[in-house]
Each structure stands twice: as C-alpha cells, then as structure tokens.
Chain A
Amino acid sequence: MTGVWLAHRIAVSLVLAWVVATIVFLALHMVPGDPAELLLSTGGISPDPASVAELRQKLGLERPLLIQYGAFLAGLLRGDLGTSLVDDYPVLHEIALRLPRTLELIFAGTLLAIIIGVPAGVYAAMHRGGTFDRCASGVTALLLAVPVFVVGTLLVLLFAQTLRIMPAGGFAPFAQDPLLHLKLLALPAIAIGKGLAAVLFRMTRAAMLDALANDYVRTARAKGLAPGRILVVHVLRNALNPVITVLGLHMGTLLGGTVLVEYVFNWPGLSTPLLRAVEARDYPMVVGIVLTISVLFLLINLIVEMLQAALDPRIGAR
C-alpha cells in the first residue's frame, strides 16, 4: 500500500462525502413548491401561514441559496448539524449518544456473519457436492430471500414468545449488566448478520473453488506441502480478496437493515430518533442521521479498500 495510493483513496472518499452532503442539502430545495409548507402539510391540508413563516425562519430558507449552502457546509465542518425542529435538541448530541449502540450492532452482526459464513464456505468448497454443500446452498437461498425485519420478527416470536428463553428486545448498558447486554444483543445481531453470512458463504465457496483450481495449488501439492498449509497460504489468502469486496458491497444493505432491526428489537440506536424524525417531518434530524450513516458507509468502504490493498499488493501499487 503506497502513500500516494492511500492519499488518493482518502481524497476520493472526502469528495464523495462532500457530494453526499450537497445532495442532502439540495434535496430540500429540489422538491416542488415551498419546502416549509411541504414539511408542515399532512394529507393535503395546507398549513397556516404563520407556522410556515416560522419554519422558514428556523430552516433559514429566506436567505439566498448559496449563503444557506455555505452555512450548511461550515456547520458540518464545525460538527454542527443544527437542532431538531421538534424540541430544539442539538442533532449532534442525539447522534453522539446513539451512534455507538448502532455501531456495536453492526459490528456484532458482521462478526457473526464472518465467523459463520467464511468457514462454512471453505468447508463447502473443500467437500464440493457433499451433503453439507448441498444443504448449505439451500439454506443460503432462503437466508437471502427472507427480509431482515421478517427474520427479526420471527426470532422474537420463536425465542421470546414461544420458547421464552430470550428477551424480546430492549437495551441494558454493558457496565450495568454485561450478561443481559449480550443476551439482548444476540437476536438483533443474528437478524442483521444472516444476509451477510449467506453472501459471504456463497462468495467464499466460489472464490475457494477458483483458487483451488489454480496451477500454483497443484504445484504446492506436488511439492508435498501439508494440506493445511496449502489451504491457508495458497488458497485462502487468494480467495479472501473477493470475499472482502463482497463484504464492502453488502454494507449498504446491512446499514439499512440495521434501521429495521433496531426498530424490531427496540434497540436504542440511531433508528429510533430517525424514524421518529421521519414521522414528525423533522428535517434537520433526518439529515443529520442520514449523513452520519452515509459517511459511515463511505468510511467502511475505505477500510475495505485498505484491507484489500494490504492483502493483495497489486492493488496498492497501481
């Protein structure tokens, strides 16, 4: 990984973050008519002019577009995301409080998916056409088809309602009750990780089959290397790169799925204020959270690219 390559990738990510911020800013102004009136109207009933004027004032809509844009970007650079239209609470505070919980859920789901998906893919490729391979392929198709909120709801129905061995949802701070915290984390993590586990299984299996068919694997075998060493050094290392690519590609779905899973399990991450804000048409709050998650998305993709370059020196040298 060369310094120039890294600097280039970081610069690209920064430009994308700026583009994302601009789109979010422009979205409010691209809608036909007066945005303030639109945000206040419900079911075709037009709002009273006084509250429209007040909202225009609050959002700073009277100022020229460029000034508004400049103020918006300057605010972002200072870390100021504005205040909620509902209770004047600073958007940044809400995000700072809840982002760690969302990150924990994403991390747990991803970890679970890697722990299950990658070894299962390796095993299926090593025993291609066997019972495990065929069963796992069927399960994968099902896991990919069932929507994340359906899995979440059915997990609650099975483990909390019927078997009564897991809590239905909620949150307990780790410092207070570590065991309950992990128990409450388990089902949401499964719901989030299931799709990624299925994708990772498929990709690992396919990449392993590709890698196993290479000449250098045959050479290694002919040299008399131990099968375990061939698997790790020659096959897995080369198979891992496409797997990591898929991990990055799937992150958008995973971040969106988190919103649904947090809702199903009452996990107090970013989803709760986001959904409340969408319902209340609290634009600054929605923008703050959408921007945060989108930048997180860009950041994860940057990390994925760096991982790929670390694993495959050909990428970083370009």
Chain B
Amino acid sequence: MSRLWFPGAFVALILLLALAAPLLGLPDPVRQDIALRLAGPMSGSWLGRDEFGRDVLSRLIWGARTSLSVAFASALTACVIGVALGLIGGWSRGVGSLLSVRSMDIILCFPPVLLALLVVTLLGPGAATLILVLSVLYLPGFARVTYSEVLSVRGRDYVEATRALGAPTWYILLRTVLPNIAGPVLVQLSLAVAAAVVLESGLSFLGLGVVPPAPSWGLMIRGARATMEQAPLLLIWPCAALTLTILAMNLLCDALRDAVDPRTAGR
C-alpha cells in the first residue's frame, strides 16, 4: 500500500496547490515587469522572474492549474462518453458493439500528436480545442476497457438476478454493472490524465496549445529556451515540475492498477 501512498500524496499536493492558486497570495502570473527581466531569486519571488519579468513561482503554480484543468476536463469527458459507448456496446454486442466500440478504433490509426495538430489547424489553438482533441484521443481506451469488462460481467449471477427481478436495462447498466467495473475504468482515467498532461505540455511547447500569456508549463519551457544561456534555471523549474508530476502520476497509475488487478502485482 505504501506504493500507493507516496505518489498519491505528491499528486494530491500538486492538485491542492493548483486548486488553491488564487488563495495563495501569489503575484499576478501574467503581469510583466521589464525592469526585473530575468531577475534572480528575491524576497517576494523565490524563483526569480522570467524573460518578461513575470514571477516564475506564480507561473509554475498557475501553470499547474491550467495543465491539470485541461487534463482532467478532457479525461473526464472521454471517460463519460467512452464508458457510455462501452456499456452500450458490451450490452448489445453484435452491430451495437461494432458501431460504438470498434468504430472508435479508427482514432488509434493516427499518431496522437498528428491528429491533434490536424484539429488545431481547423479550430485554431486554445484550451477549448485542446480539451476537445484530448477527449477524442482517449475515447477508444475507455470504450475498450468498459466493453471488455462488461462482457465479462454481464453473465454473472448478480446481473442475471437483477434482470430476473425486472429491472430496466439502464438500471442494470448504471447500478449493477457500472459499480462492478469501476476499478479498471478508474485506472484508465488515471492513465488518461497523465497522458493528457504530457500531450498538453507538448502542444503548448510547440505554441499550438494554451494561448499566451496564460501560464502553462509547456509554454514556460518554450519561452525559457530563448534565454537558456543567461538563465538556465528558468528552463529547469518547469521541466522539473512537469517531469515530477508525470512521474508521480505514472507511479500512482501503476499502484492503482496493481490494487485493482492483483495479477499484475509484483511484475
């Protein structure tokens, strides 16, 4: 269980910081102060200022808020729609599963970044586009996991019993089947959030994700690249924040998977 605790606490800390960002009394993350351009650490700005004189610590914490809200919004959207499709597909089988689950596999024919760039070309960059693209990208994962779990659960006695009692289909799916497949879906959700953080930062790094001046870790790394020579630390902070967050999320995913499915434990 300790494998769940440590990364879990770290992820919780980042979530808490991101949620509490407005309450922490941080300097405005987008206010520029050219006089303090690339200034080192000082009182009131522990990590110094960036290439526009904006407070780095404040941008890191507000950046976490941006990254995590995009990641959670897209993963939750993908989860709700994907699970619904998987439930329908697994329950109806046949043509229903072909339409709702197999059709989603088309998305997997594209390398994720490429599909995202295609959509950004059409809709323009921004947080809304990111959430749309990321939720589409993670749909097949949720649909597949739910589908296979529903197939293994639907024949169980307790499902048969609920059906024999005359419960309507929606009731069986939501109240009997869904709670019993929640474990693998939760694991999939944690995987999707971690993957979304990576992809969001990558697209923002390319200048095609979150629109400046909004703070985002990917954008911070993009900006700090230009001043790498004078201020290498500016590059290190967002890189470290991003990597540690993803590392903690990955470890949490692994621990969650082992907790849900004991077969994979100890590998």
Taking beta carbons and an 8 Å cutoff, which residues of A are in contact with B? Answer: 16, 19-20, 23-24, 27-28, 31, 35, 38-39, 41-43, 141-142, 144-150, 153-154, 156-157, 161-162, 206, 251-253, 255-257, 259-260, 263, 274-275, 277-279, 281-283, 286-287, 289-290, 293-294, 297-298
Contact = CB atoms under 8 A, between A and B. Distances in A.
A290 B114 contact: yes
Contacts of A31: 122-123
A154 B232 CA distance: 10
Which of A154, A156, A282, A289 has the largest number of chain B CB atoms within 10 A? A154
Which of B122, B123, B243, B246 has the largest number of chain A CB atoms within 10 A? B122
A161 B232 contact: yes
B1 interface: no
Contacts of A150: 221, 239, 242-243
Contacts of A277: 121
B210 to A, nearest CB: 15
A19 B106 contact: yes
Does more than half of chain A's interface fall in helix, strand or loop, or is it mixed?
Answer: helix
A20 B110 contact: yes
A155 to B, nearest CB: 11
Nearest to A256: B113
Contact of B120 (A24, A156, A278): A278
Contact of B112 (A23, A39, A256, A286): A256
Given A39-B121, A283-B122, 6 more contacts: A20-B110, A23-B106, A145-B244, A147-B202, A282-B121, A294-B110
Interface in B114-156: 114-115, 117-124
Contact of B228 (A141, A156, A252, A279): A156
A39 B250 contact: no
B227 to A, nearest CB: 11
B201 interface: yes
A297 B110 contact: yes
A298 B110 CA distance: 9
Given A147-B246, A153-B221, A286-B118, A275 B106 contact: no
27 contacts: A19-B109, A31-B122, A38-B123, A41-B124, A42-B124, A43-B124, A141-B250, A142-B243, A145-B243, A146-B239, A146-B243, A146-B246, A147-B242, A149-B218, A157-B235, A252-B111, A256-B111, A257-B113, A259-B117, A278-B121, A283-B122, A286-B117, A286-B118, A286-B121, A290-B118, A293-B114, A297-B110
Which of A35, A144, A162, A279 has the largest number of chain B CB atoms within 10 A? A279
Nearest to B249: A145
A110 B183 CA distance: 34
Does more than half of chain B's interface fall in helix, strand or loop, or is it mixed?
Answer: helix
Interface in B202-261: 202, 205-208, 218, 221, 225, 228-229, 232, 235, 239, 242-244, 246-247, 250-251
Contacts of B243: 142, 145-147, 150
A290 B106 CA distance: 15
Contacts of B39: none
A58 to B, nearest CB: 15
Given A20-B110, A290-B117, A293-B114, A153 B225 contact: yes
Which of A27, A141, A147, A294 has the largest number of chain B CB atoms within 10 A? A147
B19 interface: no
B251 A141 contact: yes
Nearest to A287: B118
B198 interface: yes
A168 to B, nearest CB: 9
A274 B117 contact: yes
Contacts of B263: none
Contacts of B232: 157, 161-162
Nearest to A255: B111
Nearest to B218: A149
Contacts of B246: 145-147
Nearest 5 interchain pairs by C-beta = A256-B113, A145-B247, A255-B111, A252-B111, A145-B246
B111 A38 contact: no
B117 A27 contact: no
Contacts of A145: 243-244, 246-247, 250
B202 A161 contact: no
Contact of B109 (A16, A142, A289): A16
B113 A259 contact: yes
Contacts of B110: 20, 23, 252, 290, 294, 297
A145 B202 CA distance: 13
B230 to A, nearest CB: 10
A260 B106 contact: no
A253 B117 contact: no
B247 A141 contact: yes
A204 B114 CA distance: 29
Contacts of B235: 153-154, 157
A142 B251 CA distance: 10
A290 B116 CA distance: 10
Contact of A294 (B109, B208, B218): B109
